[in-house]
Amino acid sequence: AQKVTQAQTEISVVEKEDVTLDCVYETRDTTYYLFWYKQPPSGELVFLIRRNSFDEQNEISGRYSWNFQKSTSSFNFTITASQVVDSAVYFCALSGGATSGTYKYIFGTGTRLKVLA
Amino acid sequence: SAVISQKPSRDICQRGTSLTIQCQVDSQVTMMFWYRQQPGQSLTLIATANQGSEATYESGFVIDKFPISRPNLTFSTLTVSNMSPEDSSIYLCSVSKGMGTGELFFGEGSRLTVL
């Protein structure tokens, strides 16, 4: 079965601090995809990144970076020099299903990030 | 990309009634899903809407309570039947253009309040 664990329920940081959001996943599929979404207070879900299981290269996009490690089944997200606008709930998600034939997207419980001015 | 229109955007319903949520996509998509997001909670997958056949429901969700239709590749409906206050939630239609490979696009959601 697929499972995504985000152990951090809520994190508070002061503006300009770096913060890492953890994501651990479980799957029996050999081919799978990992995602991060942001849900600001307005409620819409904003896609941040997609990573497939064969690409373990870390990725950086501006102040955002992602660390994918298959050995530990983790896909962590770091925000550098956090800003108040980064305050949101962040969801990690997993998709796959080639093994079972049932393709679906499973979300973690989310981490609420509060960036204080 | 995919633009998703959901109707209604919000509604207040009486206990025991049923409400149908519509999801219209601006292009043909492979996968359509219905999620529920209760206040302060994560997204819980209700079912995968299969075009031309019965939806595939997740554990804890049944067809009698959440009947789903998907008559074509751009449209789906979710009905919340015999509603109770516990059904108060945001219901989200989402789509993917790949078989679990692509970005998941979301509608703006339908916020239901059951009195």
Q: Would you state the structure tokens that stand for residue A40, as one six-digit string?
A: 């600001």
Closest CA to A24 of A89, A99, A102, A94: A94
How would residue B52 be classed by pLDDT, with cut points 50, 70 and 90?
Answer: confident
Q: Which of A58-62, B26-30, B34-38 is the most confident on average?
A: B34-38
> Which positions in chain B touch A44 (Cβ < 8 Å)?
106, 108
Instruction: Report CB contact under 8 Å: A43, B90.
Output: yes
Cβ separation A91–B42 shorter than 8 A: yes
Bond before B8 cis per omega within 30 degrees: yes
The per-residue pLDDT for range A47-103, each reduced to its tens digit, is: 999 998 988 888 889 999 999 999 999 999 999 999 999 999 999 999 987 666 668
* Residue B81 confidence (pLDDT): 98
Residue B43 is nearest to which of A33, A44, A91, comparing CB atoms? Answer: A91
Q: What are phi and psi of B102, to 5 degrees?
A: -100, 175
Pairing type for strands B10-13 and B68-72 reads unpaired
Residue pair A103/B99 in contact by the 8 Å Cβ criterion: yes
Sequence-ordered list of residues with C-beta below 8 angstroms from that of A41, at least 6 positions apart, any chain:
A87, A88
Strands B10-13 and B110-114, bridge-based pairing:
parallel
